[in-house]
Amino acid sequence: MVEEFQNDLAFARKMDERDELRAYRSQYHMPVQANGQPYVYLCGNSLGLQPKATEGYLLQELEDWKNLGVEGHFHAKNPWMPYHEFLTEAMARVVGAKPSEVVVMNTLTVNLHLMMVSFYRPVGRRKKIIIEADAFPSDKYAVESQIRFHGLSPEDCLIELKARDGEVCLRQEDILGVIDAHSEDIALILLGNTNYYTGQFFDMKTISEHGHAKGCMVGFDCAHGAGNVPLNLHDSGCDFAVWCNYKYLNSGPGGMGGAFIHERHADSKDIPRFEGWWGHNKETRFKMRDAFDPTPGTEAWQLSNPPILAMVAVWSALKLFDEVGMTRLRKKAISLTGYLEYLVNTLGDDVVNIVTPADPAQRGSQLSIQVKTADKKLFNKITEAGVIADWREPDVIRVAPVPMYNSYEDVYNFYTILKSAIAGN
């Protein structure tokens, strides 16, 4: 609770001593400044830190490639042929899905396009897509290009959800109201389940149920949600979801993505999709002459054999998530983010404004902070003082205290640096 927090370093250190996850910090490489001191790294919402174990896992695959060549597909310590399957169950636990509904493949926007091939099927007047007005640009580019691919116009077929005047976050009743107002025209509802700019976490189940009641397909970009918030994708009922694994899930720069397709669709042999040989029935894949026979589940959406060296990082990171579990991570995240909120608010609402919802159920580990009367020069000052955070135009500092490796002392140190920078020191 906020009233239990205290604005001093001793309190932060006491909280770290009580933290049941504190040992996991030592399992990640922390970036270090030129003076030898660690940075205050609060940018896991953009790129998660490297697990120390990743290097060893990668060296194992390089060694097997060196010594076995093509035979590594069958005789490597971790055979490459079924390698993607090693990741499936842990990934499913992170996103709240059945293993048959999940596959690690490609990168995020590639997967988004593949999902829209299957789930954006404009027919008659039902041809519009709902998306956030401030959606991540790649999502908007993908959606607009899919609309044009069908010979349609984004000006006619794209509905952008906008916050009310004077507000930044979307209200759920407004989202549902737009769905109602355009119910006979909507083919697809596509939202970033956790908005990249504001950090707002949407009620996926309510939106999915409301959209389905109106005859719409519903999908989510979970890039800022996977490994951050409890997604519960299966229970949400959404038709599909996509995400990257390099933010909260620590799989390295440009790391592989993941896809979820609800089981009510995943075994359909008639659903339209782009096809490739790795989605073919495993029993006959190498006969090479058979017509496409989709393997059961979401694996049928795979196109190519998986890039093993890229998958290594995903698997090594998931092992830590499997040890800790999303329940314990979420518990710490709520407390750690609450402490950050408490400290920032002590600066006064005439100085700062936190864009992210105050309700912990409507946010993850990220807070988006506007410092009034300041610009990017302030962000540059805190960077020079040893903070790695994130700037988003026009005026937001995104800060993400990640529960897997960030500490309460990290949060307190960020606050003191921000306070000093605002004071001009």
Which tens digits make up the pLDDT trace of 267-297?
887 899 999 999 999 988 888 778 899 999 9
The residue type at 394: P
Q: Is residue 269 part of a domain?
A: yes
* Residue 15 scores a pLDDT above 90: yes
Q: What is the mean pLDDT of residues 340-350?
A: 95
Model pTM?
0.95
- Structure tokens of 187? 């083919």
**Rounded distance, CA 388 to CA 44, Å?**
10
The residue with tokens 């719409």 is 216
Residues 200 and 335 in one domain: no
Domain boundary among 265, 299, 322: 322
pLDDT in tens, 307-321: 999 999 999 999 999
In a domain, 297, yes or no: yes
Confidence of residue 425 (pLDDT cuts 50, 70, 90): low
Within-domain flag for 74: no
Q: Does a structural domain hold residue 404?
A: yes
> Are residues 31 and 100 both part of a single domain?
no
Residues 261 and 316 grouped into a single domain? yes
Provide the number of structural domains found in the chain.
2
Note the pLDDT of residue 156: 96
Q: Flag whether pLDDT at 363 surpasses 50.
A: yes
Shared domain for 119 and 164, answered yes or no, is yes
CA 31 centroid distance within chain: 22
Look up the domain containing 259 and give its range.
82-322
End-to-end CA distance of the chain: 31
Are residues 316 and 216 both part of a single domain? yes
331 and 312, same domain (yes or no): no
Residue ending a domain, among 306, 322, 338, is 322
Please check whether residues 169 and 95 belong to one and the same domain. yes
Residue finishing a domain among 322, 344, 364:
322
pLDDT tens readout for residues 252-266: 999 999 999 999 998
Q: Mark whether 312 and 376 lie in a shared domain.
A: no
Q: Is the pLDDT of residue 390 over 90?
A: yes
pLDDT at 353: 95
Does any domain span residue 68? no
DSSP secondary structure of 216-250 = -EEEEE-TTTTTTS---HHHHT-SEEEEESSSTT-
Q: Report the chain's C-alpha Rg in angstroms.
A: 22
Q: How far apart are CA 258 and CA 109, in angstroms?
A: 10
Per-residue pLDDT averaged across 239-258, rounded?
97
Whether 67 is in a domain gets the answer no
Note whether 172 and 299 are same-domain residues.
yes
Tell me the CATH number at 335. Answer: 3.90.1150.10
Residue predicted with more confidence, 268 or 301: 301
